Structure 1
Amino acid sequence: MTQVHPTRSLPGSASARARSEPHFNTRVIGSSDLRVYPLALSGNIFGWTADEQATTAILDAFAEGGGNFIDTADSYASGRSELMIGEWMRARRNRDDMVVATKVGKSRENPGMHAEAIKRSVTASLTRLGTSHIDLLYLHVDDESVDFDETLLAVDELIGEGKVRYFGGSDHTGNRLIQARIACGQMGVAPMVAIQSHYNLLHRQEFEIGLAHVATIQGLGIMPRFALASGFLSGKYRQRSDLALNSRGQEAAQYLRRRGIKVLNALDEVAHEHDASPATIALAWLLNKPGVVAPVVSASTATQVPELLAAARVQLTRHQSAELDRSSAY
């Protein structure tokens, strides 16, 4: 199996200082040595609805609040997300403080999971990010037209070259994860350490039935994406007129039904008990689930970042977790 080495942190860096503080809450991603704050900041709006000034402010607020895990993809804003994150890290000189995850497989230039497409995609991502390595590379699609062996061998070569440290899946079923683990074992290559999956209070069944069990058995770090259900779980969409507030309103419209309102009411109660926001509690509920390392969440403004980071400091009681489970039962 390919050997990987930890990323160096400067003695005086923000991450080094944070790790020395007793209340700095971090989690390890699967079987890797990547230690992250339990919230991944998504770069999906960087270069799209967030311009350079807004992106810089969001990233600054995230880092200043203790965040160190950034999630992007080569397809986000046609690569502009990676460019903006790379420029920010270069300006702040904090690459060693950050754990950077990106994804390949959906870009217009290098689609799919063929070996050459993966290698070209990683090379392009490294250039845009201005870094020598990607900490966590996700396979953004499950491309069944390509033999798993080809994909896994290509990623293992990149790990051996030091361009990628660890990798995971992003759109894989439980059965496909099992196939991947068997193939990795047979070939003696690096296995997946993480899985990103659609999972939140209003989208539970797909993940909890089957995939969660496989991820747990394999010791994969679980990163729930769409963790706030397109912003619905923040509580800002409570009636039809609210859907016109921003561009994501139409995505949240699907949740503005009886079950969605029931979940919001439960979130409101728990949020009141913790003097927190509904968004904070929705993320804390995810962090209370086995195997979950860091929900993936985007912020449209820097002012939203503190309530997202606060989820790592909330300790839900058994009763509160049970109430949220019941309100969101499928």
Structure 2
Amino acid sequence: MALGTMYFGTQVPRNQAFACLNHAYELGARFWDTANNYAFWANGTGNESEETIGAWLAANGTGMRDEVTLATKIGARPRSLGDGLDASMGLSRRAIRTQVQDSLRRLDVDHVDVLYTHIDDANTALEETLDALSQLVDEGLTRTIASSNLTAARLTEALETPSAHPYTALQQRFSYLEPAPSTDLSPHVLLDDEVSSLCSELNLTRLGYSPLLSGAYTRADRPLPEGYEMGPAASAALTEIGNKYRLDRGQVVLSWMVRRREKLIPVVGVSTPEQVQSAWEAVTTTLNSSDVEWLERARHE
């Protein structure tokens, strides 16, 4: 799994974030996921998550950097504090260079392992964006490039654009339950069947964020987001399979994600070591194939 660190340094105080990272590392998790705008909307500046991870790496000595896979995202940082995503820095050559240099400074590292384009930038030619990203790979500032929140059409266009270093992974919104087709998730883009099929065809690693729908699978005080419904077949499958493996419904979702035929890496946002423990227990629990198939059938009934 990838450890989601969206609210580290804002809603999750630094000492608590350190406890989450320490426990994840102790368990065997090694994939930290952040972005250069986390979490400007939560009374933050957008610096906090990267700075928290940078401080944790520094506190654990120079060797720790090589022990973890470090991913960050660019393109969706507001140009000025107080702006929103409609005034984001985007993915022009100059903006990419500026954002990456700032992220490396906040993370206190000389490279990241995965660099995502966070949201689409229709105002910049894909050739310019991909050429600028490829140059970062050639310079050793990132090991690989990836994308997030792309429609099937834009993903196809990006992968058909000549590039020395094409995208190797795609991170989209994904969970067990699927929203109604008319649901407006913007700026999120769903990992739907069409996009997932493209990932299979083009051998892209899939990652799914918001897998637990902010706790709605397990917490009575967290209703499902607008546009989502839990049908009786899905409810029964999640409950009965959870009872069988001694997992709660949210844990079943995470275990299913990593065991299904079209496997995904769940990006799990955490705020306590207990949540880290729960997620790790889920992704290291092996559901048998018949239970995975049962879950697949039930989610569409």
User: Fold match, TM over 0.5?
Assistant: yes
Q: Deviations over 1:127-161 (max 9, x none)?
A: 00010001000000111111000000000111111
Matched, 1:66 2:28: yes
Distance (whole Å) between structure 1 residues aligned to residue 168 and residue 228 of structure 2:
35
Distance (whole Å) between structure 2 residues aligned to residue 97 and residue 220 of structure 1:
24
Per the TM alignment, residue 71 of structure 1 is displaced from its structure 2 partner at its CA by 0.4
- Is residue 213–residue 225 contact of structure 2 (8 Å, CA) maintained in 1? no
Aligned residue number for residue 60 of structure 2: 92
Aligned with 2:15 (options 48, 53, 74): 53
Matched, 1:83 2:29: no
Q: Deviations over 1:13-58 (max 9, x none)?
A: xxxxxxxxxxxxxxxxxxxxxxxxxx00001111221001110111
Per the TM alignment, residue 218 of structure 1 is displaced from its structure 2 partner at its CA by 0.9
- Is residue 113–residue 146 contact of structure 1 (8 Å, CA) maintained in 2? yes
Aligned residue number for residue 157 of structure 2: 179
Aligned with 2:204 (options 198, 212, 220): 220
Distance (whole Å) between structure 1 residues aligned to residue 19 and residue 259 of structure 2:
29
- Is residue 177–residue 228 contact of structure 2 (8 Å, CA) maintained in 1? no
- Is residue 126–residue 161 contact of structure 2 (8 Å, CA) maintained in 1? yes
Matched, 1:232 2:216: yes
Distance (whole Å) between structure 2 residues aligned to residue 88 and residue 266 of structure 1:
40
Please list, as runs of the form range in 1=range in 2, the aligned pairs for 1:154-303 lying within 5 A after superposition: 154-184=132-162, 187=163, 189-203=164-178, 206-233=190-217, 235-237=218-220, 242-243=221-222, 252-254=224-226, 257-259=229-231, 263-303=234-274
Aligned residue number for residue 153 of structure 1: 131
- Is residue 260–residue 292 contact of structure 2 (8 Å, CA) maintained in 1? no
Relative to structure 1, the CA distance from residue 227 to residue 179 in structure 2 (aligned partners, 3 Å threshold; closer, same or farther) is same
Per the TM alignment, residue 196 of structure 1 is displaced from its structure 2 partner at its CA by 0.2
Q: Deviations over 1:245-270 (max 9, x none)?
A: xxxx6xx44377453x6534422211
Secondary structure, counterpart of 1:327 in structure 2: helix
Q: Deviations over 1:277-330 (max 9, x none)?
A: 322211011112345342001112111111101223222123312222233216
Please list, as runs of the form range in 1=range in 2, the aligned pairs for 1:103-182 lying within 5 A after superposition: 103-109=73-79, 111-182=89-160
Distance (whole Å) between structure 2 residues aligned to residue 291 and residue 85 of structure 1:
30
Which amino acid in 2 is paired with 1:56?
F
Aligned with 1:312 (options 283, 286, 291): 283
The TM-score with structure 1 as length reference comes to 0.79
Aligned residue number for residue 17 of structure 1: none
Runs of 4+ in structure 1 over 4 Å off: 255-258
- Is residue 178–residue 228 contact of structure 2 (8 Å, CA) maintained in 1? no
Distance (whole Å) between structure 1 residues aligned to residue 137 and residue 192 of structure 2:
31
Distance (whole Å) between structure 2 residues aligned to residue 80 and residue 203 of structure 1:
31
Secondary structure, counterpart of 2:212 in structure 1: coil
Which amino acid in 2 is paired with 1:303?
E
- Is residue 105–residue 139 contact of structure 1 (8 Å, CA) maintained in 2? yes
Distance (whole Å) between structure 2 residues aligned to residue 293 and residue 98 of structure 1:
19
Secondary structure, counterpart of 1:103 in structure 2: strand
Q: Which has the higher contact order (CA 8 A, sep 6+)?
A: 1
Distance (whole Å) between structure 1 residues aligned to residue 166 and residue 123 of structure 2:
20
**Bigger CA drift: 274-283 or 205-214?**
205-214
Secondary structure, counterpart of 1:76 in structure 2: coil
Structure 2 runs not aligned, ≥5 long: 40-45, 80-87, 182-189
- Is residue 226–residue 296 contact of structure 1 (8 Å, CA) maintained in 2? yes
- Is residue 220–residue 291 contact of structure 1 (8 Å, CA) maintained in 2? no
Structure 1 runs not aligned, ≥5 long: 1-38, 244-248
Aligned length: 276
Secondary structure, counterpart of 1:254 in structure 2: coil
Distance (whole Å) between structure 1 residues aligned to residue 227 and residue 256 of structure 2:
18
Secondary structure, counterpart of 2:191 in structure 1: helix
- Is residue 177–residue 230 contact of structure 2 (8 Å, CA) maintained in 1? no
Distance (whole Å) between structure 1 residues aligned to residue 126 and residue 261 of structure 2:
28
Per the TM alignment, residue 175 of structure 1 is displaced from its structure 2 partner at its CA by 2.0
- Is residue 137–residue 143 contact of structure 2 (8 Å, CA) maintained in 1? yes
Aligned residue number for residue 42 of structure 2: none
Secondary structure, counterpart of 1:282 in structure 2: helix
CA RMSD of superposed structures (Å): 1.9
